[in-house]
A = this chain, B = another copy of it.
């Protein structure tokens, strides 16, 4: 059963820790700021005040017993870097770091971070994808070549049956399921009539997916 330690309980770190607790995981929260530790004390499994650049302090809380330690310190890069180096020296299995830019990411990976996240940049790119394809509700990549996307039925297809819409021939995509209000139809039949408000889950190669997005 995985256990997590989160060092740095700012916006990113605290929401990470609280969400993991919500999911039933044991979380140790660490921050050097006493008011922050106090505020979260009864919301996270265990919260301690310590300076994470101090290897002895990390050892004292048995940091290596955690499968994953997240270093969620952004604006103090030196503390972030020293903490990451300390965690890897103590042989913590997986260390995930926040960073503020690519230069920091490169350095952290070089000193042994297993993964580095740039939350603000990723959030900006994510919002852009959403704004760029407003009819598209969501999408997941299936390998590097294919995607499943969820989209509102395009106006130009409303009233057509699946057979008439002819999506496989026109766009190379297959409708996996359709959600109409609360009813889900998996592998809908060819005579199913597409109705305004239907949510379609379709699968196809990424180039094909791009072409249907143009319909939206």
Contact with B along A1-45 (1 / 0, CB 8 A): 010100000111111110110010100000000000000000000
Interface residues on A, range: 35 or more
- In A117-136, which residues have CB < 8 Å from any B CB? 117-125, 127-129, 131-132, 134
Copies in the complex: 2
Q: Which residue of B lies closest to A184 (CB)?
A: B146
- In A77-110, which residues have CB < 8 Å from any B CB? 96, 100-101
Segment at the B interface, from A54-62, A159-167, A174-182: A174-182
Pairwise interchain contact A12-B124, C-beta atoms closer than 8 A:
yes
Q: Tell whether A4 pairs with B176 under 8 Å between CB atoms, given A124-B12, A140-B138.
A: no
Q: Tell whether A143 pairs with B179 under 8 Å between CB atoms, given A16-B127, A201-B148.
A: yes
Interface check A71, CB cutoff 8 A: no
Pairwise interchain contact B174-A186, C-beta atoms closer than 8 A:
yes
Q: Which residues does chain B contribute within 8 Å of A124, judged by CB atoms?
A: 11-17, 19, 72, 119
Q: Which residue of B lies closest to A121 (CB)?
A: B15
Interface check A203, CB cutoff 8 A: yes
Interface check A158, CB cutoff 8 A: no
Q: Which residues does chain B contribute within 8 Å of A11, judged by CB atoms?
A: 100-101, 118, 120-121, 124
Pairwise interchain contact A132-B25, C-beta atoms closer than 8 A:
yes
Assembly CA distance A72 to B138 (angstroms): 23
Assembly CA distance A2 to B214 (angstroms): 13
Pairwise interchain contact B146-A179, C-beta atoms closer than 8 A:
yes
Cross-chain pairs A/B with CB under 8 angstroms, 17 sampled: A2-B134, A11-B120, A12-B124, A13-B124, A15-B124, A15-B125, A16-B127, A17-B128, A19-B124, A20-B132, A25-B132, A138-B141, A139-B140, A140-B148, A146-B184, A186-B203, A201-B203
